[in-house]
Amino acid sequence: MSAQDRAGARIRVQGPATRVRFGNRRAPDGVDRAHLVRPRDGVSCCCWGPSAAGIEVVAKTERCSPQWMHSHRSRALQGEVDMRSQWLVWVPFIALLSGCPKAPTDGASEDKAIPNPPTDQVIPTDPSVKMGVLDNGLHWYVEENARPKERASLRLVVKVGSVMEDEDQQGLAHFLEHMAFNGTENFQGNDLINYMESIGMEFGAHLNAYTSFDETVYLLTVPTDQPELLDTGLAVLRDQAGGMLLREDDIEDERGVVLEEWRLSLGAGERIQRQLRMNAFPGLGYSERFPIGTEDSLQNFAPDAIRRFYTDWYRPDLMAVIAVGDFDGARVQAQIESLFADLQNPVEPRPRAVVDIPPFDEERVFVVTDAEATNAFVLIDDQYDGAEGPTWRDYHRDHLLPNLVFFIANERLADRSSNAAGPMAGAQVGPSRINRAEEETSLFVGVRGDRTLDALTEVVVELERLRRHGVMPGELDRAKASVAAQYEQYGKTAETTDSNTHAEELQRVFLSGEGMPGIAVEVAAVESWLPNITVDEVNARTAELLERGSRVVQVVVPERDGFTVPNVAQVKAALQLPPDADLSPLEDTATDGPLVERPPPVDGGSVVERSSADAMGVVTLTLGNGVRVRVMPTDFSDDEVLLVASSTGGLSLVSDEQYPSGRVVGAILANSGLGAYNAEALSKRMAGTRAQAAAGIDPSGEWVRGGAAADEVETMLQLVWLHFTEPRFTEEGEARTKTELQEMVASQERSPARAFQQAAQDAFVGRGLRQDPIGREDVPMVDRAAAEAVWEARFADASDFEWMVVGDVELDAIEPLLARWLGQLPVVEGAPREQVEPSNLPGMLDGSREVLVQSGQTPRAQVVVVWHGPSEDSWITRNRMVSLADIVSGRLRGVLREDLGGVYGVSLSGGVRPHPAAHYQVTLSFACDPERVEELLSAAQDQFDHVMRDGVSEEEIAVEQEQNRRGREERIRTNAFWAGAYVSTLVRGDDPADLLAWDARNDSLTSKELQALAQKVWGGDGNRVEVVWVPEAGE
């Protein structure tokens, strides 16, 4: 469950950007990776506030080509990111949502011809979506959709969030969301969670919710192969809409859980975000009613306050029920009408008005500081009336033209940010929706080091250049190509779009009034208009979008040594155009020449052997140079082709002398370019294509990844060819990489989490060349010549890789392309397959130890405990280790969260790692009140002891098996699963046919073997390492 800040100040951005990774999972909009947990940790979503740890900024300031950005159906490329919750990230994370003006609510509206040029004709509604309004005012939307098969996405959307809380209700919109899972008319206590798990669904992945400033949304995914499961899913939404019990004992039990969620939000990010909102929206709910609430309110609110909120605001005229999936739509419609018709509105309902944000004439400037901030940045918002119109003219003006404008603006800002000697670490500008009536143009500027005012001045100059001279024809052509490619993709993949994506669109229809003409109509409109858009038309819209309105400028600077905090007058001066500013027009140096200047001969490669399809439909092609490629044609996702290749060895085969350069070789390459193109030119050359490919070197192997539309496979293969035959390692690329590394290291050193990270490293793996993260002293050692030598050695033999292509391919069509572009890659004839060098792969230290770390101000403890020891590396051991962690994780959730109220989420993960020698590793982690660490660790140990003594129950085994089965049903219908699983199996040396034995392994799971495994992990001769991070002791 979430108090995620999804509603306010979200920026929709287009164009090249810094890419940000959040661990191994993509974080939702505006959410710190540190607050994401495994779906079965007992946490259904995440908290809105970022923390000082957990965000990994990729060492490469990666200029993401437009195909990396994607949304679906309505308004392509109109994405949103909450800038105020991304303070640690130099450039905000891109997530693209769509937006579209309100359309008629009659699902049978006539589909009129698209006007060209656009007119005031009202946009029609997609007739495939059935919708209506019950007599009590509740809206409903039903859409049949076959992807994923035998699944339905259900949502209850309540058009109310924290801005409607009374003074004594702060945080209760979100608290009420929690209570929807803690006692309703048909599901007492935790029965809802237990029921969902019994049918194979997971708390978090399939049972979820979030609360924002303006809405609360409950999300449910259920199987549809049994009609009663879908019926029960709708009944769950009915209970949440009008059947919460809100018993005092249940409320008291949940206080601790929500307080721990509040605790997770604390830190520099939360403090800065609150100050930013107070400055931007003084006296309004968007600054005073944060969804998470306050500690005092959460500890002391009266139960009647939350009951009053439920009575006042959970009413049918503010609700929508959404159902999309593989089902009979008429039957689902009838179920909704029957279940929800008896909901009643209050006799005198309180008005639900949109919060008015008054305009102001003067530019407002603020300087925000925090002692634990790690980087400086600038945020500039120009507010304007964001009311949307319902016509095609509105669509053209308010969505299509801004796509082009901001793509061009962000391409220019990315060019400026790529200068290693410049003050900007990154910048983005785009439209940001505050609420249903207000929008703003938002500009985010990341700063390198202590150069805040210089960065601000540079971005002011660049945007003034764009305003003054307008766009260049080549820029507009690239922007058009990018938009056209995206809409083409949406049209081609419409039939395989997943139900959750459809449900998200319908949610926006209800909340913001956007229409939905249907993807075919929308694509046809854009294809009709795009070629006719002129430079003058874009320049006029640029001037409007970049015009200063009710402007708020906020500069955030760490309050610590090494940073100069400017005053307001200095910031205002930096916002003015310098008298000596160079505003000469740019020259477009981009080229649309061939991607590969010296391509291999068309008929130079060959396929010497083609196997018959195996049991999974995989055909092996042996090429003339010895490269073997597995090809798996699928219909999982229209117009999607994935390429994966892996080889063993990696950095373990790199000498100590080359290691400092080898571990950043991918960043240097990405900053240098490929073939005839430097990084900037390559990004522009790839505009308008979905084809992409990347390669890299990990500690134990090399990898290649690619993706493309079905008709762009050759372009993807050309990029792969260039990675092997024409990688670039330039002085500019080396300089840029070093600058980025210096900034990354400095940021990490300033983080309160630094002491914890170092202590964890010392406890788990120790210190050494290959254990240590990149430090300040390592940056000068980076050398492009050494990096190039490492790359050439690791990518000298394409036949040492396991190659696979999966997706929307025809064997006869792709065979000659693979023969040409992979069949002529360099190979080393007769060379044995390379293996890792175990001595160069640091392993976990032997022995058990406990470490206490005291640093930072935040009143929160972070606990990590790792058990590890020797293990066999087999299918069955890997499977059982995961199942043991899954089942015990559920127990820990029940005890530590539900019974003790001591954590918001708890993670227990388990697995077997092959290097440097096969070993098991089980990791427990949670955050809590520092005063409760020992209590909660003791409670966790009680559960470990219980499993060692008694095993697990047959009911737990059955739930685990069903969840595994349902999860696999979804995974095996994706190209990514097969590309990853098949190649990983080959690299491990296993037989891919064993992938088909999964059901047998799952069905044979027993309590006895899990008990024996538990005794090995928690009661044997293995190692236990505990690291606890608490705040510094007060005076």
Q: Which residue has the tokens 């349902």?
A: 966
pLDDT of residue 170: 98
pLDDT of residue 552: 95
CA dist list (Å): 439 to 83, 395, 398, 765: 14, 15, 11, 49
| 460-463 long-range Cβ contacts below 8 angstroms, 24+ apart | 460/574, 460/575, 460/576, 460/577, 461/577, 461/578, 461/581, 461/582, 461/583, 462/412, 462/413, 462/416, 463/409, 463/429, 463/546
Under 8 Å between Cβ of 637 and 497: no
CA dist list (Å): 914 to 435, 801, 803, 838: 50, 18, 21, 10
Under 8 Å between Cβ of 500 and 208: no
Domains and CATH numbers, the chain: 607-840 (3.30.830.10), 849-1030 (3.30.830.10)
pLDDT of residue 388: 65
Contacts of 532 (CB under 8 A, 6+ apart): 116, 117
Q: How far apart are CA 628 and CA 642, in angstroms?
A: 16
Q: How far apart are CA 488 and CA 946, in angstroms?
A: 56
Report DSSP state, residue 780. Answer: G
Q: Which residue has the tokens 């010392």?
A: 762
3-state secondary structure of 365: strand
Report DSSP state, residue 674. Answer: B
Amino acid occupying residue 264: L
Kindly report whether the global pTM for this prediction surpasses the value 0.85. yes
Q: How far apart are CA 410 and CA 77, in angstroms?
A: 13
pLDDT of residue 186: 95
CA dist list (Å): 55 to 23, 364, 769, 879: 7, 30, 23, 30
CA angle 134, 140, 146 (to 5 degrees): 145
pLDDT of residue 547: 81
**Average pLDDT for consecutive 10-residue bins of the chain (1035 residues)?**
34 30 25 25 28 27 25 26 29 28 34 82 93 98 96 98 97 98 94 92 90 97 96 97 97 97 96 96 93 97 98 98 98 98 96 88 94 96 76 92 96 95 95 83 95 96 94 96 94 92 94 87 95 97 86 96 97 94 92 94 96 97 98 96 98 98 98 97 95 97 98 98 98 97 96 94 96 96 98 98 98 98 97 95 96 95 98 96 98 97 97 96 98 98 98 97 95 96 96 96 97 95 95 75
Under 8 Å between Cβ of 457 and 98: no
N-to-C CA span, the chain: 36
